[in-house]
Structure 1
Amino acid sequence: MLTRLLFIAALSLQLLSAHCQSTDRYTIIPRPAQLEPRVGEFIVSQHTTVMVPFAQADLKAIAESFAQQINHSTGISLMVRNLDKTPQSGQNARANLIQFLPLRDTTMGDEGYHLDVTPQFVTIEAASPKGFFYAVQTLYQLLPPAVLGKERGASSMGSLIVPAPSSLPPVLLIPACRIQDKPRYSYRGMNLDVSRHFFSVAFIKKYLDLMALHKFNNFHWHLTDDQGWRIEIKKYPKLTQIGSRRRETLVGHYDDFDPQVFDGKPYNEFYTQDEIRDVVRYAATKYINVIPEIELPGHALAALASYPELACTTGPYQVATKWGVFDDVFCPTEKTFTFLQDVLTEVMELFPSKYIHIGGDECPKTVWHKSVFCQQLMKREKLKNENQLQSYIITRIDKFVTSKGRRIIGWDEILQGGLSPNATVMSWRGINGGIEAAKQHHDVIMTPGQFCYLNFYQGDIAQEPTAFGGSLPIAKVYSYDPTPANLSPTEAVYILGAQGNVWTEYIATPDQAEYMIWPRAAAMAEVVWTPLALKNYDDFARRLPTHFERLSNLNVNYARTFYDALPAAKPTPDGRVEVTLSPSNLSPEIHYTLDGSIPSGESPRYENPFMLARSTKVRIATFQNGKPLSQLAKIDKEYLVSKATGKSYTLLNAPIGSRPDRNYSLTDGTTGGIGGYEIAGVVAFKNDLNAVIDLGKPELVESVRIGFLKYTAKNICLPKQVEISISEDGKIFKPALTARTNAAESGKRAVVRLPFDFTATTARYIRIIARNVGRVPAGLRYPGKPAQLGVDEIEVR
């Protein structure tokens, strides 16, 4: 008895201390619709009981799963008891109960809930199991992050867990509050492409776990494409015997090499129907609907390789070994329709989803235009063009799927040629397709690439793993509003919600997938759940660090670009480079190195902009109390300092675009970069580079170094010749050097820095002429096409 009294006294002091020290008691993602903070905490201990009506099996399963997770991760032994057979303890002031109470208030909908936390009770109320499930996800996020761990003691329990005497089990604190919550949108989705790269059932289940924690309710499973057919179809076994196998895979980015390079390794993976059923059953326990996507009429190479009779020509066909859009598509014969209906019949037997996604995107019409059969079909059906032929195909599939009691989803290209009557549109090429469909009173799921494509870069392209291209930092994801402002209220109701997409051309492993998805998917979760008026990025950023702890306890390889310090540089009048580092509010400590080493907490701390008097490779990382926050820099950010740094120049040939012909972009000390389809800091020319640099005063010079972009997949070639001349007055120039270069050089794309050395001489003006090769040389990807010249930083030494 004495031990227990001492423990209670110590616990009270610790509770008071924890309450006083806690500045972020509520770090729930997505943010609830209403949250009323209260003073005090509910203590979860060995004496806590979970009460639930056993007669409602779904609720009992939710409560038992919650108790098992807490018990497993902490060692606390929560008991789950039958509320139906126990007198309600609400009048007992000494009670320590977590109770599940059915709610008769239908205004909260199926997914809404009430959560009331006092020092005596945690009361969860909802009208359906979905609401109870989402309430529990919120409850997890009111608890310390370690409750989501797989093993007891796997990591720190955090500041809100109170350590007990060694002879007693631990306790947890839930901050008191009142929450009333329901989602903004009924459709809250995440996609995963498993055709380009396959992901195991174990990974899919972990993905579903994470989706559930963030209150997503639809998993869009992209199962077929040109690069692989990933679902077993009993009636057509060749789809997995042949269609799931590609002989090799492209190395690097699509444009990395010219000619392209392949790994020579066969790739063969698919899901059996039993595995599909297992995933669908598991998703149902998380209240997630699984939407399969079977691509048609385009993105069909894997199917045509398996059954070439489904094409308009005889082939042969093979499963695609690289990415992109291919001309070979399904031919709309009766044999093809029979095949597609048979496939969809098996698919619908596996997936109870109301929605079946049929693709409909990126379908070239080249083959149809040349096909005698297609042209005759168009004439017979009075179709004006190939777009209407695609609409004819989609409409037939729509009627078939509708006859089975389901509905189709298609990408926004299904608007071309006329929208099928029952189709739901997934708008990915911006928002206009969604707007058009909503105005036609069709349901819409918004997923525009510029906000929702999580296969885009999220940080500095020089530091990031290979991605598709484009920039999508977490703040931009968070900024998205799925309901376009120019829709009327009656049109806006057709916007069902939004979805984050994960296309895996350049995502080959589970770790890389998680890196690309999280935490940007957490931002997307708030986009689709939280009322628009409550969205606030600064508040979201405040909650993220605690959420990162949750993800760590769930063993998620999330990206930490959120903490990255962004470098900026500019030349100074005296020819140096000034570097400024901009931290986020949550990563106040920036450390950097200038010697190529990885920064540590002992490295110089950034306080003010610093000057570089010579060419330097800078590495940057952010810390808090000596602990790394950002990814430790693996690649240097190089700044070049020379006699040309900060000096003005004149371009006698205008560059592509609207750049002025007098600027510092070629002499600002900052090097360019390449990532995905993105190029930064490079000036492009259709003809020759003809630049005159003014050093400001006579200088002894003996070398010029120029960065040229070699990107032959985009017809950007090295120059065929470089001519350097010098002058004292800017009028009369003397040749210093003429050098031939290899404009036909192939290989990996890169910024190639070419040195041009000559006899030391005094000059104020340096003229540089780099001769464009004119036409892309033979042996490269597009021989004979007009060539461009890309120029990076110019150094004079």
Structure 2
Amino acid sequence: MLTRLLFIAAFSLRLLVASGQSTDRYTIIPRPVQLEPRAGEFLVSQHTMVMVPFAQADLKAIAESFVNQIKLSSGMSLSLRTLDKTPVSGANAGANLIQFLPLRDTTMGDEGYHLTVTPQLITIEAAEPKGFFYAVQTLYQLLPPSVLGKEHGAGSMGSLVGPASRSALPALLVPACRIQDKPRYVYRGMNLDVSRHFFSVAFIKKYLDLMALHKFNNFHWHLTDDQGWRIEIKKYPKLTQIGSRRRETLVGHYDDFDPQVFDGKPYNDFYTQDEIREVIRYAATKYINVIPEIELPGHALAALASYPELACTTGPYQVATKWGVFDDVFCPTEKTFTFLQDVLTEVIELFPSKYIHIGGDECPKTVWHRSAFCQQLMKRLKLKNENQLQSYIITRIDKFVTSKGRRIIGWDEILQGGLSPNATVMSWRGINGGIQAAKLHHDVIMTPGQFCYLNFYQGDFSQEPVAFGGSLPIDKVYSYDPTPAGLLPTEAKYILGAQGNVWTEYIATPDQAEYMIWPRAAAMAEVVWTPLAQKDYNDFARRLPTHFERLSHLNVNYARTFYDAQFSAKPTSEGHVEVTLAPNILSPDIRYTLDGSIPSGESARYEKPILLTRSATVRTATFQNGKPLSQLAKLEKDYLVSKATGKSYTLLNAPTSGRPDSNYNLTDGTTGGIGGYEISGVVAFRNDLNAVIDLGKLEPVESVRIGFLKYTAKNICLPKQVEISVSEDGKVFKPALTARTNAAESGKRAIVRLPFDFTTTHARYIRIIARNVGKVPVGLRYPGKAAQLGIDEIEVR
């Protein structure tokens, strides 16, 4: 009787796990269309057999890859055989079997699949090899994260079951379920810019591995730009002899230094055609199409440095050493068209892709407008403006590429002057280009910067490594819907899908690239695969921690900003600062320090707002069971507490609107920040700062400290003079200090806190006048331009 009760209790517990707590067993990204949890697990062990249909070479290769990965990560050698008998059903399965079977459900398409897991049998069904491949990616994510490791015994064995000794190999559990799955969009892309910074073939292969795990199917390889030509073209060897080499590279962000600083180090690398073929072959094994991008007619400096006769002027030209958009573009002569067609001929011979990306973006028309040849050509072709001249160039290239049996993709600027007949539009400047193209019945790939540019900041920009600019946290990526509202069904069908873009101006190393890409690309994977009705950010967040384990086993340097606590602060009526920390839903245990030291599991635990009675550096980290989740070397904020904190003030000169943002909080205790092109917490003035602070009562005062923004690349300079005066009644002020400052100071942009000390006096009101220098001084980036003041926190001590 006791044995029977124990059996019933154990069985009931398994049912409970399979029902009420079942979601924790399934952490697949992207989320499948349908997943039915079931009780039990399939045990993958050294006795497991993998069977594929007879004479199916593609399926056998997929199965062999799975078997090899299991052996690599666990040491188990699974048996692989061809299926030469009636498929095994769950009812009569006596063996521990994984079988691949053809799917007769025509609604699943060539990328869809069925996956059924029972305690005895795993059945994978698909109509085409792509479907089988994606089913195996799902199977990997049903297995413990360690199964994706590269070395048996190197990773954590905590999620493996079975003996841990060398003599007994471990076993792997797959939770029982029934999955039916297919993608929402046919185009699921990731981009990588290798022109600004080059990435090795080994890194590209790893990137393709990660794309495949997330069911992306298009790799957009940005191979040429102003800063480097990265693909060997046999007919034009100077493209790599000269065009792949830049003499040096900008240091820091574009606006960091005035004047700009360069590293003085030559930068040179490119892919040979054999390396290109190697990447394409490897991608094919992952069912990923590789789309090359050859930029034209703009972003052409590397090509013009190699062959200056392709320009409208004689030059000389050099490969760009900094970022941006340059006026020097291809001149639409017959020699240029011959060059471009020759280049594209070699590219088409290398790449089997249906699509060839030709850029078409950010092409200034200045040179064309000044060129007698271009103006004569426009007159002969009866073109109204330079936009139509660009359309003429794109249309000629479109016809050439089409004659080779391929199709072009261009950025949404190719809509200007008229859209070429066979072009697919990649919409990056928001969604309007995509909407316009879809209404014209042209295929569209959506990649608007505000949702899809993974070179933007993903956390607090003042705390993150240097990035391009803009804010794109992972939840914003996840929120994106590539099909714009308002399109008719007959128009929406032209939205092929979406793509995450990785522009590498500020991404110089593989580690930094992975940090910027993952896990945001996992969110993008769900955007393009999972039906809109099935998307749920909270559920995605639940699956992320296990996915992070997978990425760790794959040796990926993913970002953990997902776990970062969010700061907010406000001054109190007593003149203190109250700091509030908002946890991530999955990491409620926040630890903090007030001295700038790195928090540990023993540091103070955040339970209620922190009241600061003096200036402090608040540093935070999140933990789970004592284990750090967020990046410990990050996330700190400086707060300033002084007699001015929380006190009212009057601005006698109105601040300006726009960038930097004007939030008027000069005495709230919080400090501003700089990152990319973004500035926070700073008030800008076109005139002088003229502020009167009311301390509320007579106080002994002897010092004023003011944070000034020095951002001379945006014409924001230090003041030329600061005047401090004090008053008991707010009517009669007496001077306390007048100090000259160096408005012409160059160097790195920063918030500079300047002290102004004077003889101790009693006052209730403090008047601060900071004199704008008026015009940007000589020696800075834009001398003679109207200068601004940028003011951060004001302290009175």
TM-score scaled by length of structure 1: 0.97
Deviation at 1:664, TM superposition (A): 6.2
Deviation at 1:156, TM superposition (A): 1.6
1:528 corresponds to which residue?
528
Give 1:74-473 correspondences, 5 Å limit: 74-83=74-83, 85-90=84-89, 92-159=92-159, 161-163=161-163, 167-473=167-473
Superposed CA deviations along residues 457-495 of structure 1, whole A, max 9, x for unmatched, are 000112210000000000000000000001111100000
Residues 662 and 683 of structure 2 are in contact (CA less than 8 Å); yes or no, is this contact kept in structure 1?
A: no
Superposed CA deviations along residues 406-442 of structure 1, whole A, max 9, x for unmatched, are 0000000000000000000000000000000000000
Give 1:491-506 correspondences, 5 Å limit: 491-506=491-506
CA–CA distance in structure 1, aligned partners of residues 287 and 376 of structure 2: 48
CA–CA distance in structure 1, aligned partners of residues 767 and 459 of structure 2: 37
Superposed CA deviations along residues 271-303 of structure 1, whole A, max 9, x for unmatched, are 000000000000000000000000000000000
Aligned length in residues: 786
Residues 185 and 497 of structure 1 are in contact (CA less than 8 Å); yes or no, is this contact kept in structure 2?
A: yes
1:4 corresponds to which residue?
none
CA–CA distance in structure 1, aligned partners of residues 533 and 582 of structure 2: 29
Letter in 1 for 2:140: Y
Deviation at 1:588, TM superposition (A): 1.3
Deviation at 1:159, TM superposition (A): 3.6
Letter in 1 for 2:606: Y
Residues 594 and 617 of structure 2 are in contact (CA less than 8 Å); yes or no, is this contact kept in structure 1?
A: yes
Residues 569 and 577 of structure 2 are in contact (CA less than 8 Å); yes or no, is this contact kept in structure 1?
A: yes
Deviation at 1:23, TM superposition (A): 6.0
CA–CA distance in structure 2, aligned partners of residues 403 and 753 of structure 1: 63
Superposed CA deviations along residues 558-585 of structure 1, whole A, max 9, x for unmatched, are 0000000011111000011111110011
SS of the residue 1:426 aligns to:
strand
Deviation at 1:104, TM superposition (A): 2.2
Letter in 1 for 2:87: Q
Deviation at 1:256, TM superposition (A): 0.1
CA–CA distance in structure 1, aligned partners of residues 663 and 198 of structure 2: 48
Superposed CA deviations along residues 288-324 of structure 1, whole A, max 9, x for unmatched, are 0000000000000000000000000000000000000
Residues 145 and 158 of structure 1 are in contact (CA less than 8 Å); yes or no, is this contact kept in structure 2?
A: no
SS of the residue 2:580 aligns to:
strand
Deviation at 1:120, TM superposition (A): 1.2
Greater mean deviation of Cα atoms: 746-755 or 99-108: 99-108
Superposed CA deviations along residues 49-95 of structure 1, whole A, max 9, x for unmatched, are 00101411000000010011011111222111110x24533363322
Deviation at 1:161, TM superposition (A): 3.6
CA–CA distance in structure 1, aligned partners of residues 210 and 182 of structure 2: 19
CA–CA distance in structure 1, aligned partners of residues 59 and 137 of structure 2: 14
Letter in 1 for 2:495: I
2:68 paired with 1:68: yes
Give 1:635-654 correspondences, 5 Å limit: 636-654=636-654
Deviation at 1:21, TM superposition (A): 8.3
SS of the residue 1:480 aligns to:
coil
Residues 354 and 406 of structure 1 are in contact (CA less than 8 Å); yes or no, is this contact kept in structure 2?
A: yes
SS of the residue 1:101 aligns to:
strand
CA–CA distance in structure 2, aligned partners of residues 662 and 48 of structure 1: 65
CA–CA distance in structure 2, aligned partners of residues 406 and 438 of structure 1: 20
Distance change >3 Å, CA 534–CA 591, structure 1 → 2: same
Give 1:446-595 correspondences, 5 Å limit: 446-595=446-595
Give the 4+ runs in structure 1 shifted more than 4 A.
11-23, 162-167, 661-664
Residues 712 and 746 of structure 1 are in contact (CA less than 8 Å); yes or no, is this contact kept in structure 2?
A: yes
CA–CA distance in structure 2, aligned partners of residues 18 and 50 of structure 1: 28
CA–CA distance in structure 2, aligned partners of residues 34 and 17 of structure 1: 21
Superposed CA deviations along residues 84-112 of structure 1, whole A, max 9, x for unmatched, are x2453336332211000011222110100
Superposed CA deviations along residues 343-376 of structure 1, whole A, max 9, x for unmatched, are 0000000000000000000000000000000000
CA–CA distance in structure 1, aligned partners of residues 658 and 251 of structure 2: 35
CA–CA distance in structure 2, aligned partners of residues 101 and 536 of structure 1: 32
CA–CA distance in structure 2, aligned partners of residues 663 and 317 of structure 1: 44
SS of the residue 2:25 aligns to:
coil
Superposed CA deviations along residues 684-703 of structure 1, whole A, max 9, x for unmatched, are 01111000000000000000
SS of the residue 2:42 aligns to:
strand
Deviation at 1:498, TM superposition (A): 0.1
SS of the residue 1:24 aligns to:
helix
Letter in 2 for 1:320: A
Superposed CA deviations along residues 210-244 of structure 1, whole A, max 9, x for unmatched, are 00000000000000000000000000000000000
Gaps of 5+ in 1: 1-10
Give 1:617-656 correspondences, 5 Å limit: 617-634=617-634, 636-656=636-656
Residues 649 and 663 of structure 1 are in contact (CA less than 8 Å); yes or no, is this contact kept in structure 2?
A: no
SS of the residue 2:358 aligns to:
strand
Distance change >3 Å, CA 162–CA 568, structure 1 → 2: farther
Letter in 2 for 1:337: F
Residues 644 and 667 of structure 2 are in contact (CA less than 8 Å); yes or no, is this contact kept in structure 1?
A: yes
CA–CA distance in structure 2, aligned partners of residues 26 and 268 of structure 1: 45
Residues 162 and 173 of structure 1 are in contact (CA less than 8 Å); yes or no, is this contact kept in structure 2?
A: no
Greater mean deviation of Cα atoms: 194-203 or 155-164: 155-164
CA–CA distance in structure 2, aligned partners of residues 87 and 677 of structure 1: 64
SS of the residue 1:665 aligns to:
coil
Deviation at 1:146, TM superposition (A): 0.3
CA–CA distance in structure 1, aligned partners of residues 562 and 576 of structure 2: 30
Deviation at 1:592, TM superposition (A): 0.6
Letter in 2 for 1:410: G
Residues 304 and 311 of structure 1 are in contact (CA less than 8 Å); yes or no, is this contact kept in structure 2?
A: yes
Q: Give the percent of matched residue pairs that are identical in Structure 1 and Structure 2.
A: 86
Greater mean deviation of Cα atoms: 14-23 or 281-290: 14-23
CA–CA distance in structure 2, aligned partners of residues 230 and 793 of structure 1: 47
Letter in 2 for 1:463: Q
Letter in 2 for 1:58: D
Deviation at 1:595, TM superposition (A): 1.6
Cα RMSD over matched residues?
A: 1.9
Deviation at 1:723, TM superposition (A): 0.6
Greater mean deviation of Cα atoms: 586-595 or 557-566: 586-595
2:6 corresponds to which residue?
none
Letter in 1 for 2:504: T
Residues 663 and 683 of structure 2 are in contact (CA less than 8 Å); yes or no, is this contact kept in structure 1?
A: no
TM-score scaled by length of structure 2: 0.97
Distance change >3 Å, CA 22–CA 598, structure 1 → 2: farther
CA–CA distance in structure 1, aligned partners of residues 17 and 478 of structure 2: 31
SS of the residue 1:352 aligns to:
coil
